[in-house]
Structure 1
Amino acid sequence: MTFVLLVEQVLNGLQFGVMLFLMAAGLTLIFGVMGLINLAHGSLYMVGAFAAATVAGATGSFLLALAASLGAAALAGALVELTVIRRLYGRDHLDQVLATFALILIFSEGTRWLFGSFPLYLDIPPALSGPVALPFGIDYPRYRLALIGIGLAVAAALFLLISRTRLGIQIRAGEEDREMIAALGVDISKLYTLVFALGAALAGLAGALIGAIQSVQVGMGEPVLILAFVVIVIGGIGSIRGALVGAILVGLTDTLGRALLPVLFGLVMEPAAAMSAGASLASMAIYILMAAVLILRPRGLFGRA
């Protein structure tokens, strides 16, 4: 593997990681503050992608499409919290899993009814199309670089929100002792709705941004949801910093594993066998990483007891 290809794969892994962070950040916020296992989080990712594709097709504006993804996912999240999730806070985790799994089916069939079974496509805006020249003769897609920048900017904004604002203080206090902040006059119901809508909006934004690289289709959120759960287990449940570090680790492990492992196996095996063995091990690499982290630090890298 050449140096140029290695750098490109590292950038691909970073881009994949920061997009996973947008999914995992909302998921870890919801679990950390509410103690809720939300399997329907991937459906909110899908809602954002379909809203963006629909608005972009009608208006031709990518910025309006991103705004639509944020608004539609946040609205869907708030409605879900008010009508379904609010009844699950005091229930067993098994009840939460069953109820949110039912929401996956409702969202999937509802989306198929509205948009059909055929995928939609979201075009990359002209200003971000084409490659950009990087040092050492590397040409890398401008849009993927923009995704890295957007993801890191959202991460920075989320850190500031959690650590420097009154809302962030309430969110952190709600994670520590929800009864106490309710006794101090904070409307815990409104806080939960706001946190759930914020997490949903982040998922919807991720769906819209990825929708310009992949097709927008029913069920697109579930594979990403699995990876988001891996991210928060590695980073530590309830930790935004852990979600970012875990997402980048997962992104780099997955991308570099798929690029490097077939090459390494090719040193000792026939090319066809090396490709098969490398691809098989690469698909397991992130789960091996998760197992290693749990063995060494069961709470995750930044998790608390």
Structure 2
Amino acid sequence: MPVFVSPGVTAVDLATFLVQCLNAVQYGLLLFLLASGLTLIFGIMGVINLAHGSFYMLGAYMAFALSPLFGNNFLLMLLAGMVLAALFGYVLEWVFFSYLYQREHLQQVLMTYGLILVFEELRAMLVGNDVHGVPVPDWLAGSFGLGGIMQYPWYRLFASGACIVLALALYAVVNRTRLGMMVRAGASDRDMVRGLGIDIRRLYRTVFAAGVALAALAGMIAAPMASVYPNMGASVLIICFVVVVIGGIGSITGALVASLLVGFVDTFGKVFFAELAGIGIYVLMAIVLVWRPEGLMGRRA
């Protein structure tokens, strides 16, 4: 998920600052789609899923495979990709992850790392190791001016808007529906949920499928902004865990706040402190953990 930087700009003026703010928000919101699924899976199911970044890669490659079929029907392609990813996640939880709940975290880490290797081999056999590009749909091509020589792509603005809509929809589902009530209860006390007679297996599969769909959607949205390449999920996995730790395990609101914080720290760190940009988000995580070990929105033990 690279940051867009306008060429020919050397001084940080108001227009440049605005572009970087848009970059930070867009990056943070896209990161939220990834991290929200991870924090739900970790917070409710108690599974450390190192393969979550592979679902992001899956979405990017689905965009590459589906874009010739759908053409300019980009929204329809995103919907089809989400449905396929959710079905894949539901089956994967049933076949594989349902056996991890009672395992120790070390076993979960090793087994989900094994999944990464399996996904990478399958990707190599199906599409090869070449780098691919996904075209921006015609109706989102081009850019608009932000004063002077500054230009900002319409597609990046669309990506931010789509992520905001999905964040609002996710908030409504988690906080205003019966399913959301069960999800929040499962994040607080899994044993109580079982005691109330709720089908915890179905809840787990639904949550896992939603997490896979969100990660894949993030990959599909990011694909036209960057290349689709092997092992691309590894580059976002660690940042996702940083977001989950900063926001608090199991907290959707915390994931949103942490994603935006990471987006601003990473984006402006690359602008003002290029030499130290790589450690900025980890310094942020260290500060938050010293202040609140459970994360910004996490529950106190």
Q: Do Structure 1 and Structure 2 share a fold, with TM-score over 0.5?
A: yes
Matching residue within 244, 258, 262 for 1:250: 262
Q: 2:64 matched to which residue of 1?
A: 53
- TM-score of the pair, normalised by structure 1: 0.91
Instruction: Decide whether the 8 Å contact of 1:51 with 1:65 is kept in 2.
Output: no
Residues 51 and 68, structure 1, Cα contact 8 Å, conserved in 2: no
Pairing 1:216–2:228 present: yes
- Between the aligned partners of 1:2 and 1:133, the Cα distance in structure 2 is 15
Unmatched runs of 5 consecutive residues or more in structure 1? 262-278
Paired residue for 1:116?
128
TM-score normalised by L of structure 2: 0.92
Deviations 1:48-95 (A, max 9, x none): 111121011233132232123212322222222111110010110001
Equivalent residue for 2:291, pick from 282, 286, 296: 296
CA distance in 2, matches of 1:140, 1:231: 27
Whichever residue aligns with residue 45 of structure 1, its letter is Y
Q: How does 1:202-213 map to 2 (within 5 A)?
A: 202-213=214-225
Aligned residue type for 1:246: A
Q: Which residue of 1 aligns with 2:32?
A: 21
Q: 1:152 aligns with which of 160, 164, 188?
A: 164
* Matched positions, count: 288
Superimposed CA distance per residue, residues 7-63 of structure 1 (whole angstroms, 9 cap, x where no aligned partner): 111110111100000000000011111111100111111111111210112331322
Point out the more displaced range, 175-184 or 245-254.
175-184
Q: Could you give the per-residue CA deviations for residues 154-208 of structure 1, whole angstroms, max 9, x where no partner exists?
A: 1111111000000001111111222222232211101000000000000000000
Quote how far apart the aligned CAs of 1:245 are: 0.6
CA contact 2:15–2:147 (8 Å) conserved in 1: no
Question: Runs of 5+ in structure 2 lacking a partner?
Answer: 1-11
Q: Distance in 2 between matches of 1:46 and 1:157?
A: 23
Identical amino acids, percent of aligned pairs: 49
In the TM superposition, residue 138 of structure 1 has moved relative to its aligned partner by 5.2
Deviations for 1:249-293, whole angstroms, at most 9, x for unmatched residues?
Answer: 1011111111112xxxxxxxxxxxxxxxxx330111111111111
